[in-house]
Structure 1
Amino acid sequence: MSFMKLNFRAALLLGSLMIGASPALAEAVLHRGNSGEPQTLDQSQTSIDIEAFIVKDLYEGLTIYDANGKIVPGTAESWKVSDDGTVYTFKLRDNANWSDGTPVTAEDFVFSMRRVEDPKTAAGYANILYPIKNAEAVNKSKAKIEELGVKAIDAKTLEITLERPTPFFIELLSHQTALPINKASFEKNGADFVKPGKLVGNGAFKLLEHVPNDHLTVAKNEHYWDAANVKLDKVIFYPLEDQAAAVRRYEAGELDLVYNFSSDQIERMRAANAKQVHVTPAMATYYYPFDTRTEPFNDVRVRRALSMAVDRDFLAKDIYNGTKLPVYSLVPAGMENYGEPSKADFADKSQLDREDEALKLMKEAGYGEGGKPLSIEIRYNTNPNHERVATAVADMWKKTFGAKVTLMNLDISSHYAYLQEGGKFNVARAGWTADYADPENFLNLNVSSNKTFNYGHYSNPEFDALMKKSYEERNPAERAKILHQAEALIMRDQPIAPLMNDANLWLVADKVKGWGDNANNEHLSKYLSVE
């Protein structure tokens, strides 16, 4: 055989090897459209879903949700519960490691949970861990931090003692507030521990790059205990508040996932490719809180009148194209341990009857036609759907009461930071998605001691007493009755006006595999892959 033929065959063989190897050599990158810039990656300070999507890729709790929204073991491979339901003993995985290769220990969880409850941390979600023994007392400087009911039995055994039996405790531990942080990195870097090059996580991915308001990139964590089953090399999150721009980039193939796209695009997107449009009922409520510290919103008659005048059917059907449901309760339906939520007493009336009653209440309070002028500012976070809702509600209040209504919007981070820090307002847009499937998670928003999420600063001793009683009641049926009484008070006083039950809106490209629709809206990148 000639030298030329040998070279030719060798070249063909090399070419075929290169072609065969190229798919394996190519990086598997998922491009996720997130609906805003995270305020922080410090799990003690996070509060919204767009932050949770990221931090849960970087860190892993004792428990996690799988692709279908079912709670499963995370860093803890197993656990035991005492007969009285107050002591949980977790066995951590032997191969659970931090992204720097060091082992994850029980002491890491002790340090992290103590940090969350330390009043110096000022964790907005510290109350999530209040079921733990002495957590509330520690957080309110009434007990020493060492008295928190969290103890390392040995390097891989964690014991958590509760104040009382808590049926939803395992689900609660999947929340971002219960995620561990690396003590060594935190002590070395202080507040900078969340920055690229310094963040040490125990999740399926590690932080590679963060360009605020542009993109955030995470890469596969080779030290993760389940790294062998993580199919993605990188995930790039894009903070896209402009929903129209997000859809355009998705249709151009630049994004593989888009969260919270504009509902007016649903029919068009379904016509193009129905399989890519995912609309999932959620345990979430879209509501308007009133600032009860300021006139006239400190008057229950005004709050009830304004709530009655809102045509929820119009909002759900005409603005959200049926992807949301009109509601008259704060707690969403579908919680097995609660049953049918307690609705407002005007829920079953026609919209015309509601408006007639609303006019009487407003007149009785001294506002509207023949009374004091009614001026209202509606605050909302930047989003086309929220703007449409605010515009529609403003029009309803103008027509019903002759009110002067103005609108104000801020980006999502600034909007919620303003509310959580106690800024004064008239009416604001807010939403709450279940952290765990229990009505307490929604009703607790109105407890007077909840300084972070009780945006309207509602204070009712009777309501607070019912909530306290619910924490002490161990019989599930009796507890549900108490919580129903508490919700009935909220629906009577209307410190918030529940408007709609949410749906999770996602665009998912055909090449994304492993996706599972679920009401908890949990979508860890570790379960996803791209073809």
Structure 2
Amino acid sequence: MRRATLTVLIFTLFVYLFFYACQKPSSGQDNTVRIRASQDPENLNPVNYNNAAALEIINLVYQSLLAPDPETKEIYPVLAAALPVVQKTDSTAVFNFKLREQAKWSNNQPVTAADVIFSLKLLRAPRLENGRLADRYDFIKEVVADKANPLAFQLICEKYTPDMNLMTGDFAILPEYLIDPKGLLRAFSFAQLTRQADSLSNHPSIQEFADWFNSDRFSRNKAFVQGSGGYLLDDWKTGQFVRLIKKQNWWGSGLSDTTRLTANPDKIIYRIIPDNTAAVQALQKQEIDVYAGIPVYTYQQLSADKDFKQKYNLFSPESYDFTYLGINGRLAKFADARTRQALAHLLNVDQIINGALAGFATRTVGPVAPTDKRFYNTAITPYAHDPDKATGLLQQAGWVKKDNRWQKIIGGRWEPLTVTLNYKAGNTEFERIALYFQEAAAKINIPVSIQPIEGLLLTDNLKNHRFEVFLRYLTGNPFVNNFKEILHTENAVGGGANFTNFGNPASDQLIEQINSTSDIPEKARMLKKLQEVLHEQSNYIFLYVTNERIAVSKRFSNLKISGQKPGYDVSAFTLKSQ
């Protein structure tokens, strides 16, 4: 009996020590990077992922032809052997690519032009959940393989614009052998899928492939979530963590012509911690190495904490993250632009920046960063906090004070002006903005109901137009000014990313002209005009561009901190020698 009891005690002690070891801070020589993720990635399919957490992981598993360097603002080749040679005519631009001979898939097969063509077909094939990316790359009209060289191909595009220098190579390349083992899409050319999508949607092969590809296997099954990048999906516990492991003998290690292709950490673990307070506690206990998006006041406290700064470096680069208020222009009570403008005048953005954000932001009037002197419209005056102006605009829009509240005859009956404001639950920045807005609106008798919503449900509500007003981030890009996806009326349908129903034929034409011109002064003029239209219509009320707030363990160097999401390059992290 004593021996059995002793055995149980030893076993219990072993289990305790095992779990303690799993929870304790990493030792200095542990080449594992632990990153706080604010939400579950939900879906790791490069064609239809849902959020920024997913994209960060996707970019470690899959690769593109080209990529932007956030530090130098240069475009560099990834799977491509070099930057493409471009042939321009009055109506088309032909981009000539050649792939790296060293590039390999996880099964050690080479990455070929056939894989690139297949990946582009995924953006065109009907019945796939590819609408967002299909719109982004609709300027690509044909892709032609070089019959003499399996690594060479041409992308035939619309008339050349500078944005194409990156966008022709800025999409994930997927392995055809793994994604389409039956070769179901090989019978269809890229041009066929582009021009005959509707008529092909009922083809048996298309239907079979769509059922196969739209399944969960390509979203989270580690046997199928595989690319040419330096990392493999090792494990994923929903709501807890996602773990990546470095590939053995990865093809990108030690290339002589570039230092930009990296896979330095042995493991990368994304710990899913939605609550900011819990995330800060994990940081202070050294249970995570990287935390981006630290709440402002917490960041200030950590900056003054000498003990913390011995363990972590803090960074606050200016980002390309725009915070905006979106208003559903489909709803009758918000259909008049003057009503939307009135709501804009209730926001005291300077107070928000200096208060809730402690100065870690810069005002903006549209989706162009104020630091971009070529394209930002300095002639527009941001909406000022002005309740009297808001009252006047409401009256102009036909609202009257009745029974101590604003009302208007809509559809033959009196309707009150009320606002339901949504944002992603747990976002303390949005919570403070919402409270500021609610307080200001109450002073002129507009009731505001604040309803934070879980991230996935909020996205679904926005896509399906089940909302009134919302707060959200828009992540910009210093290399591309293509706003068709979020502002064109063709994307204002259910499932599209034009949530607020912004736009008309004139703004659509302006967006299309911005995307098609290669004349920089003309592009600047049109982008400034687009900002004017956005400001006037006020479906999107752009508030400010934030400074990122990042903490990274001093165990690592070569962080490549920048203002471009996610704000660092974890694949480049190098463990310091002790």
**2:424 is aligned with what amino acid?**
N
Q: Is the 8 A contact 1:96 1:224 kept in 2?
A: no
Partner of 1:126: 134
Q: Distance in 2 between matches of 1:183 and 1:312?
A: 49
How far apart are 1:69 and its partner, in Å?
6.0
Q: Is the 8 A contact 1:35 1:259 kept in 2?
A: no
Alignment of 1:379-458 (within 5 A): 379-382=422-425, 383-399=427-443, 401-420=444-463, 422-441=464-483, 445-451=486-492, 452-458=496-502
**1:462 is aligned with what amino acid?**
A
In structure 2, relative to structure 1, the CA distance for the partners of 1:174 and 1:526 (3 Å cut) is farther
How far apart are 1:376 and its partner, in Å?
0.5
Q: Distance in 2 between matches of 1:285 and 1:87?
A: 34
Give the secondary structure class of the aligned counterpart of 1:424: coil
How far apart are 1:24 and its partner, in Å?
13
* Greater fraction helix: 1
Higher mean C-alpha deviation, range 300-309 or range 323-332 = 323-332
In structure 2, relative to structure 1, the CA distance for the partners of 1:53 and 1:311 (3 Å cut) is same
How far apart are 1:215 and its partner, in Å?
0.4
Work out whether 1:203 is the aligned partner of 2:220.
Answer: no
Q: Distance in 2 between matches of 1:359 and 1:346?
A: 18
Work out whether 1:265 is the aligned partner of 2:291.
Answer: no
Q: Distance in 2 between matches of 1:461 and 1:183?
A: 39
Q: Distance in 2 between matches of 1:197 and 1:514?
A: 31
- Give the alignment partner of residue 179 of structure 2, picking from 176, 186, 196: 186
Could you tell me which runs of 5 or more consecutive residues in structure 1 were left unpaired when the two chains were aligned: 1-22, 134-147
1:232-279 Cα distance to aligned partner (Å, 9 max, x none): 111001122211111110110110001212122011010125562211
Q: Distance in 1 between matches of 2:39 and 2:236?
A: 14
Partner of 1:525: 570
Q: Distance in 1 between matches of 2:432 and 2:500?
A: 22
- Give the alignment partner of residue 97 of structure 2, picking from 85, 90, 98: 90
In structure 2, relative to structure 1, the CA distance for the partners of 1:58 and 1:513 (3 Å cut) is same
Q: Is the 8 A contact 1:172 1:435 kept in 2?
A: no
How far apart are 1:319 and its partner, in Å?
0.7
Give the secondary structure class of the aligned counterpart of 1:86: strand
Q: Distance in 2 between matches of 1:150 and 1:257?
A: 43
Partner of 2:77: 73
**1:366 is aligned with what amino acid?**
G
Partner of 1:243: 276
Q: Is the 8 A contact 2:365 2:531 kept in 1?
A: no
- Give the alignment partner of residue 504 of structure 2, picking from 452, 460, 463: 460
Higher mean C-alpha deviation, range 219-228 or range 447-456 = 219-228
How far apart are 1:198 and its partner, in Å?
2.7
Give the secondary structure class of the aligned counterpart of 1:117: coil
Q: How many residues align?
A: 485
Give the secondary structure class of the aligned counterpart of 1:296: helix
Alignment of 1:112-123 (within 5 A): 112-123=119-130
1:275-306 Cα distance to aligned partner (Å, 9 max, x none): 62211111221101110110211111100010
Give the secondary structure class of the aligned counterpart of 2:548: strand
Q: Is the 8 A contact 1:345 1:491 kept in 2?
A: no
Partner of 1:218: 244
Partner of 1:356: 388
**1:369 is aligned with what amino acid?**
K
In structure 2, relative to structure 1, the CA distance for the partners of 1:50 and 1:379 (3 Å cut) is same
Query: Which TM-score applies when normalising by structure 1?
Result: 0.85
Alignment of 1:145-164 (within 5 A): 148-149=142-143, 151=145, 154-164=149-159
Q: Distance in 2 between matches of 1:368 and 1:527?
A: 60
Alignment of 1:11-90 (within 5 A): 28-66=31-69, 68=71, 70=73, 71-78=75-82, 79-84=84-89, 86-90=93-97
Q: Distance in 2 between matches of 1:439 and 1:345?
A: 22
Q: Distance in 1 between matches of 2:157 and 2:169?
A: 16
In structure 2, relative to structure 1, the CA distance for the partners of 1:83 and 1:327 (3 Å cut) is closer
Q: Is the 8 A contact 1:440 1:483 kept in 2?
A: no
Work out whether 1:331 is the aligned partner of 2:368.
Answer: yes
Higher mean C-alpha deviation, range 254-263 or range 515-524 = 515-524
Give the secondary structure class of the aligned counterpart of 2:498: coil
Give the secondary structure class of the aligned counterpart of 2:490: coil
Higher mean C-alpha deviation, range 26-35 or range 71-80 = 26-35
Q: Is the 8 A contact 1:197 1:208 kept in 2?
A: no
- Give the alignment partner of residue 105 of structure 1, picking from 112, 116, 131: 112
In structure 2, relative to structure 1, the CA distance for the partners of 1:25 and 1:271 (3 Å cut) is closer
Give the secondary structure class of the aligned counterpart of 1:335: coil
Give the secondary structure class of the aligned counterpart of 2:224: coil
How far apart are 1:368 and its partner, in Å?
6.1
In structure 2, relative to structure 1, the CA distance for the partners of 1:152 and 1:284 (3 Å cut) is farther
Q: Is the 8 A contact 2:67 2:169 kept in 1?
A: yes
Work out whether 1:168 is the aligned partner of 2:163.
Answer: yes
In structure 2, relative to structure 1, the CA distance for the partners of 1:406 and 1:210 (3 Å cut) is same
Give the secondary structure class of the aligned counterpart of 2:372: coil
4+ runs of 1 displaced by more than 6 Å?
23-26
Higher mean C-alpha deviation, range 81-90 or range 241-250 = 81-90
How far apart are 1:210 and its partner, in Å?
0.9
Give the secondary structure class of the aligned counterpart of 2:120: helix
Q: Distance in 2 between matches of 1:152 and 1:405?
A: 60
Partner of 2:325: 288
**1:445 is aligned with what amino acid?**
I
Partner of 1:367: 399
Q: Distance in 1 between matches of 2:242 and 2:72?
A: 25
